Amino acid sequence: MRSLFLRDIRLSIRAGGGALIGVIFFLAVIATIPFGVGPDLNLLSRIGPAILWIAALLACLLGLDRLFQADREDGSLDLLVLNSDRHMLALTVLTKCLAHWAGSVLPLVIAAPLLGLFMNMEPLGIGATAFTLLVGTPAITFIGAAGAAVAVALPRGGLLISVLVLPLTIPVLIFGVSASYGAVADPAPFLQPFLILAALTLFLAVVGPLAAALALRHGTD
């Protein structure tokens, strides 16, 4: 399992891996927002956490279609499925999700504080948003894995995955954003939405890989 994790991390940073594509997309979206919304600093800092979360969500979805498709195209997926007696397929999927998260999504979380400055957010808000992203984005990857497994056989499944996965990520988005606001705006609570966000991530860490494994097992042809 460790070898699979290391292989996927290596692939994501080597040429064509696309680890930085997500960060660049994230940067592009955030940098465009002030031009569209206008230079109202109060407004920008108020919508900052929500914009960061939405942009991060979209950037997460960007690389998901390659999660299993790359392995399918070169035949590795067959061998991963074939070895499911030694390594439970759901655990294999979980490992691939964690590697994808660490390789492609963690850079987004690291870049988020910097991009928060673009939105004129105060330090506490930036910290809270980055922290909720850290806790919440794995959930997006886990849901995305199920979507990617369903669409693995489709040649241009990228958009389909986004359409399949976006509705399911709405709860993560809602609780992520409300926890980020809770940290800044006083009457709103931080802890409750944050705990629900953490629970979502844990719940989806089990359900997502199981669903993806089921789809992969029946999707081989």
* Closest distance to other proteins from the beta carbon of 200 (Å): 30
Contact 181, 46 (CB under 8 A): no
Q: Where are the alpha helices (DSSP H) in 63-88?
A: 66-73, 76-82
* Closest distance to other proteins from the beta carbon of 98 (Å): 15
Closer to other proteins by CB, 12 or 180: give it: 12
* Closest distance to other proteins from the beta carbon of 221 (Å): 7
* Closest distance to other proteins from the beta carbon of 80 (Å): 8
For residue 89, give Cα distances in angstroms to 19, 99, 194.
24, 15, 30
For residue 183, give Cα distances in angstroms to 51, 125, 172.
16, 7, 17
Residues within the interface to other proteins (CB under 8 A): 1-4, 6-7, 10-11, 14-17, 73-76, 78-79, 81-87, 220-221
User: E-strand spans in the chain?
Assistant: none
* Closest distance to other proteins from the beta carbon of 8 (Å): 10
Closer to other proteins by CB, 40 or 73: give it: 73
Closer to other proteins by CB, 3 or 42: give it: 3
Long-range contacts of 151-159 (CB under 8 A, 24+ apart): 151/65, 152/68, 152/69, 152/72, 152/77, 152/215, 152/216, 152/219, 153/72, 153/219, 153/221, 157/65, 157/69, 158/64, 158/65
Give which of 59, 45, 67 is closest to 216, Cα–Cα: 67
Closer to other proteins by CB, 104 or 180: give it: 104
Closer to other proteins by CB, 45 or 76: give it: 76
Closer to other proteins by CB, 17 or 182: give it: 17
* Closest distance to other proteins from the beta carbon of 61 (Å): 23
Dist. CA 133–CA 194, nearest whole Å:
11
